[in-house]
């Protein structure tokens, strides 16, 4: 869904934002005199797709990744995100309902919006999204690869014109295939 601000959201959720974050979950805080690192709230969940970690910044999920360092407070939002990821993993949830924040260009947010709109169990191609957005398929592919909130913003549902393409999670294409099989998407993935 697109909000008037140009930011996007999962259905029923707040806006999506994303912040480029390294493997360590930290940010700089201004104490008034000096900047120092502050632990970011991160919660890790074991799934059939590997151990995933969800990061929160300022009341919104800003990252879902594999092998992030878990640190900081386990907030109510992170506990809810963990519950939803576990329900998705168990086949009990098809649509996430979390406040998300994707920091990036308008184009990055538009691609995330397009990925979020792909229903559970369905796929689209980079070319189809590119046509909708009026940008080259390669640019869409790069934006998909830069998705900071994988699984929740379902970049695994985006395919190349001739089928499977890469995936930025550990395990690469095998992880993408596992996510698509879990959703019973792409009948060619028997």
Catalytic residue positions, numbered: 155
CB atoms within 10 A of CB 137: 16
Contacts of 174 (CB under 8 A, 6+ apart): none
Is 56 exposed, middle or buried (CB count within 10 Å of its CB: 0-12, 13-18, 19+)?
Answer: buried
Is 116 exposed, middle or buried (CB count within 10 Å of its CB: 0-12, 13-18, 19+)?
Answer: buried
């Amino acid at each position: 869904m697109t909000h008037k601000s140009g930011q996007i959201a999962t259905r029923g959720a707040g806006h999506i934002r994303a912040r480029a974050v390294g493997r360590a979950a930290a940010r700089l805080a201004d104490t008034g005199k000096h900047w120092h690192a502050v632990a970011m709230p991160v919660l890790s969940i074991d799934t059939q797709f590997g151990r995933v970690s969800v990061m929160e910044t300022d009341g919104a999920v800003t990252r879902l990744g594999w092998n992030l360092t878990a640190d900081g407070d386990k907030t109510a939002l992170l506990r809810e995100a963990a519950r939803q990821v576990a329900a998705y993993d168990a086949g009990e949830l098809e649509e996430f309902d979390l406040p998300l924040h994707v920091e990036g260009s308008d184009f990055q947010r538009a691609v995330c919006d397009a990925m979020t709109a792909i229903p559970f169990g369905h796929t689209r191609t980079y070319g189809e999204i590119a046509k909708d957005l009026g940008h080259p398929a390669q640019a869409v592919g790069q934006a998909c690869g830069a998705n900071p909130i994988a699984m929740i913003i379902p970049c695994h549902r985006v395919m190349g014109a001739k089928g499977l393409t890469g995936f930025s999670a550990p395990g690469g294409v095998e992880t993408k295939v596992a996510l698509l099989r879990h959703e019973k998407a792409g009948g060619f993935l028997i």
